[in-house]
Amino acid sequence: MKKIFPLISLLTLTFLAVSPLQAQTKRIPVAYSAISATQSSFYVAKEGGYFEKHGLFVDPVYVASGTKVAQAVIAGEFPVAAAGGVIVDAVIAGGDIAIIGGLVNVPSFYVVVHPSIKKPEDLKGKAIGITRYGSSTDFSIRYLVKKWGMEPDKDIKILQMGGQPEIVAGMQAGIVQGGVLSSPADFKAKKAGFQLLVDFRKVGLDYPTVSLVSTRSFIKKDPQTVRGFLMAYSEGVERLYRDKEFTMKVIGKYTRTNDREALESAYVFATTFIERPPHLPYKAIETILAQTGEKNPKAREMKANDFIDPTFYNELEKSGFFKSLGR
């Protein structure tokens, strides 16, 4: 099978030396598509040693596209990954991919704009930056523009910039007059003189911004790895909520910032949006299906269960594992 995303070409945040502990564990690459606080629970689980505790040595691999993450998971390059709403399109198209846990089940974004923009109507004829077309940032802003009574691309241009840092750079260069940002990018933009226009928490939209995903074939082949991953991840979430200093240090490492104020903001962001425990995003999936169903008849025939494998979440909940973590 031809590799969709050869691992050697990816930016990996890993140490190549194998320790005695690693030799006793199963090593797996795990993809994620955003360098932001939305991924911080995954970072904490990694840096806190929780994956090793459950027999896994995880190599985090940054892939600058949720669509490419989904494609690589389906191709078998990653047994587990953190991906956004793009997996819905992948499943509708017949891809073997399923959600095993929800990291962030609402749009964890802010619309940050040029100070001359005081209200949504002021954006008419201007441009807003997103990461990539088809991404969570894309879906969220299109939903919002329609809610404002305007047409995406017609009344407000939506431009893909690549990643969160690139959106901020585009705002500073005047290429776009606003951006759909998460933390710490929103903090950096506001520090540069831009201002908050919309906090998506107040929009009332459910959306699977970040989910843990695998393939149903891998789940069947190696349930122990998937179960161990979800357990380790959940312990990382608990550590995130209970250990602020450690979490900020980890966020700083992965987002490459040592700005204390930015890290404080990122921590508030993380503890606001990250699910504890990783609740399955049934309602969020239904939101996408309703939107997608307007143009794709196949989406109207599908249910949230077609996109979610609740086996391990339900098992851990029933066993009392989540409660044992302190909830």
In the chain, domain spans: 7-106+207-324, 110-202
Q: What is the CATH number of domain 7-106+207-324?
A: 3.40.190.10
Q: How many residues does the chain have?
A: 327
Could you check whether 7-106+207-324 and 110-202 share the same CATH topology? Answer: yes
Helix axes 40-47, 244-255, angle to 10 degrees: 100
What is the C-alpha separation between 64 and 36, in angstroms, rounded?
A: 12
Q: In a structure prediction context, what are the per-residue pLDDT tens digits for the chain, which is 327 residues long? A: 445 544 434 434 443 344 444 446 899 999 998 888 889 999 999 999 999 999 999 999 999 888 899 999 999 999 999 998 889 999 999 999 999 999 999 998 999 999 999 999 999 999 999 998 888 899 899 999 999 999 999 999 999 999 899 999 999 999 999 999 988 889 999 999 999 999 988 888 899 999 999 999 999 999 999 999 999 999 999 999 999 999 999 999 998 889 999 899 999 999 999 999 999 999 999 999 998 888 899 999 999 999 999 999 999 999 999 999 975
pLDDT in tens, 185-221: 899 999 999 999 999 888 888 999 999 999 999 999 9
Model-wide pTM > 0.75: yes
Long-range contacts of the stretch 249-257 (C-beta < 8 A, 24+): 250/40, 250/43, 250/44, 250/47, 250/48, 251/37, 251/40, 251/43, 251/184, 253/43, 253/47, 254/13, 254/35, 254/39, 254/40, 254/43, 255/35, 255/36, 255/37, 255/184, 256/35, 257/184
Residue range 110-202, CATH number: 3.40.190.10
